Amino acid sequence: MADATMGAAPTQAQPEQLTTVDGKPLKAALMAAQAKARRRAFLLVLPLLAFVLVTFVAPIGQMLHRSIHNPGFTEHTDLSDGTQTEIMVNLRGWFDANPPGTEPDEAAYEALVSDLVLLRELRAQGAVGTRINYEAPGTRSLFTKTTRRAERLEAPFKEAILDIDEDWADPQLWRVMRDASSAYTLNFYLAAVDLEKNSEGDIVSVNENRAVYILLFQRTLILSLLITALTFILGFPIAHLLATLPLKYSNILMIFVLLPFWTSLLVRTTSWIVLLQSQGVVNDTLVASGLVADESRIQMIYNQTGTIVAMTHILLPFMVLPLYSVMRPINPSYVRAARSLGATSWTAFRRIYFPQTVPGIGAGALLVFILAVGYYITPALVGGSDGQLISNLIAFHMTNSLNWSLAAALAALLLFGVLALYWLYDRLVGIDNLKLG
């Protein structure tokens, strides 16, 4: 960039060129000096840039890549020495040679058997079965079972394999194997929105027994909005009080807002368990005061109520603090002026005070909402079964089922969803109006 301008400079200002003492064109010299400063500035931010690239951009990129790339059916990595082996080569060759929808013939089964023999040598049948099982549930055992006997199978292979298990003839299984022959696939995104391809390759809804993700995305969205609204309703008066009290009182009150903020998340969540469980403090108090009978204690935790209560409390400071920082500098004489000009206290609040707090509301709402959408540990501990959010299923696929591609697809959808909402927010409210302090 600097070079290009330097080259262009002399042609532009040819007749009376300003030069420095040592004869260099002034413009070029200036450029060189500025380029040096820019390089230095760049070097200063380089550590941060590298840090962001390594710890943030690269993992997210990797995650997005994983959501469309799963080589479980195409290559096997030996975990003891790291060597990679191409697998299912023969069967993939057959898929390439025959168009989709071709009835698997003897050649296909022969290719399958020779591939299974290799799987047995590599001990890869479990991994391959797991890959296919993601999309064709119940087929993992076909691979482990058949691979165990693959070496002893003899022609005709079709008959021999179907003899082990008739499920091998399932067209859906062959469709899945064909799709999995290419490591790149969008099927994990389909699965993440409760869709799948049927044996003809058409996209259909999954059996309602297994449909769960759309429900959880909806629940996550609704609960996050609800929690954002609740923190606003609870946080606005607190922030107003903090902002209008004399400093010496408001500082003490501020401690009450900040103290829970500094307390460990787990401590706060488990405290809610102590308070809300059916033998907990709240229920005991209700029973002791005779408001509730001992047999009909209210279930306030291990369900959605628990998730809402605990998350609202935990996220409250994220609403209060931006609101406070916006309310503090609002000059009280504006409202007094409105009152003296005849406005009722409600009108003065609505027309004068409230509009000035909007940037704080925007910032607080955005913070709380985005945090709530990705919340994981609190719903896991107090959510029971109907208070789980989509992040809990992402965690399940990350740590339990180890279907990392599906976890990545779900996480990517969540990411795109949040970005879309952010864009919408920018269009409606304007991100410039955001004020964090």
Instruction: Please identify, using beta-carbon distances, which residue of 176 and 216 lies nearer to another protein.
Output: 216
CA distance 171 to 15: 80
Residue with tokens 């991994």: 127
Q: How far apart are CB 131 and another protein at their closest, in Å?
A: 11
Instruction: Please identify, using beta-carbon distances, which residue of 25 and 280 lies nearer to another protein.
Output: 280
CA distance 84 to 74: 10
Instruction: Please identify, using beta-carbon distances, which residue of 28 and 393 lies nearer to another protein.
Output: 393
Q: How far apart are CB 428 and another protein at their closest, in Å?
A: 31
Instruction: Please identify, using beta-carbon distances, which residue of 396 and 425 lies nearer to another protein.
Output: 396
Instruction: Please identify, using beta-carbon distances, which residue of 94 and 188 lies nearer to another protein.
Output: 188
Cα→Cα distances 122→131, 140, 166, 215, Å: 16, 17, 25, 40
Instruction: Please identify, using beta-carbon distances, which residue of 9 and 60 lies nearer to another protein.
Output: 60
Q: Are 371 and 391 in contact (CB under 8 A)?
A: no
- Could you tell me which residues are beta bridge partners of residue 196? 204
Q: How far apart are CB 144 and another protein at their closest, in Å?
A: 6
Q: Are 139 and 167 in contact (CB under 8 A)?
A: yes
Q: How far apart are CB 260 and another protein at their closest, in Å?
A: 23
Q: Are 107 and 94 in contact (CB under 8 A)?
A: yes
Q: Are 356 and 239 in contact (CB under 8 A)?
A: no
- Could you tell me which residues are beta bridge partners of residue 77? 84
> Measured at the alpha carbon of residue 232, what is the angle toward residues 230 and 236, in degrees to the nearest 5?
130
Q: How far apart are CB 125 and another protein at their closest, in Å?
A: 7
Whole-number CA gyration radius for the chain: 32
Instruction: Please identify, using beta-carbon distances, which residue of 368 and 390 lies nearer to another protein.
Output: 390
Rounded to the nearest 10 degrees, what angle do helices 26-52 and 2-12 cross at? Answer: 160
Q: How far apart are CB 117 and another protein at their closest, in Å?
A: 16
Q: How far apart are CB 128 and another protein at their closest, in Å?
A: 9
Contacts of 303 (CB under 8 A, 6+ apart): 383, 384, 385, 386, 387
Cα→Cα distances 326→303, 333, 348, 437, Å: 35, 16, 18, 7
Q: How far apart are CB 78 and another protein at their closest, in Å?
A: 7
Instruction: Please identify, using beta-carbon distances, which residue of 277 and 325 lies nearer to another protein.
Output: 277
What six digits make up the tokens of 105?
């013939």
Phi and psi at residue 76, to the nearest 5°: -125, 130
Instruction: Please identify, using beta-carbon distances, which residue of 147 and 357 lies nearer to another protein.
Output: 147
Q: How far apart are CB 169 and another protein at their closest, in Å?
A: 18
Q: How far apart are CB 312 and another protein at their closest, in Å?
A: 21
Cα→Cα distances 97→93, 134, 152, 207, Å: 6, 25, 27, 32
Instruction: Enumerate binding residues for another protein (CB under 8 A).
Output: 78-80, 122-127, 130, 133-134, 137-138, 140-141, 144-145, 209-212, 215-216, 277-279, 295, 302, 384-386, 388, 393, 396, 398-404
Instruction: Please identify, using beta-carbon distances, which residue of 32 and 211 lies nearer to another protein.
Output: 211
Closest among 266, 228, 261, 224 to 375, alpha carbons compared: 224
Closest among 344, 350, 321, 349 to 437, alpha carbons compared: 321
Q: How far apart are CB 137 and another protein at their closest, in Å?
A: 4
Instruction: Please identify, using beta-carbon distances, which residue of 368 and 381 lies nearer to another protein.
Output: 381
Closest among 435, 426, 261, 253 to 361, alpha carbons compared: 435
Secondary structure element (H or E) that encloses residue 204, with its range: strand 203-205
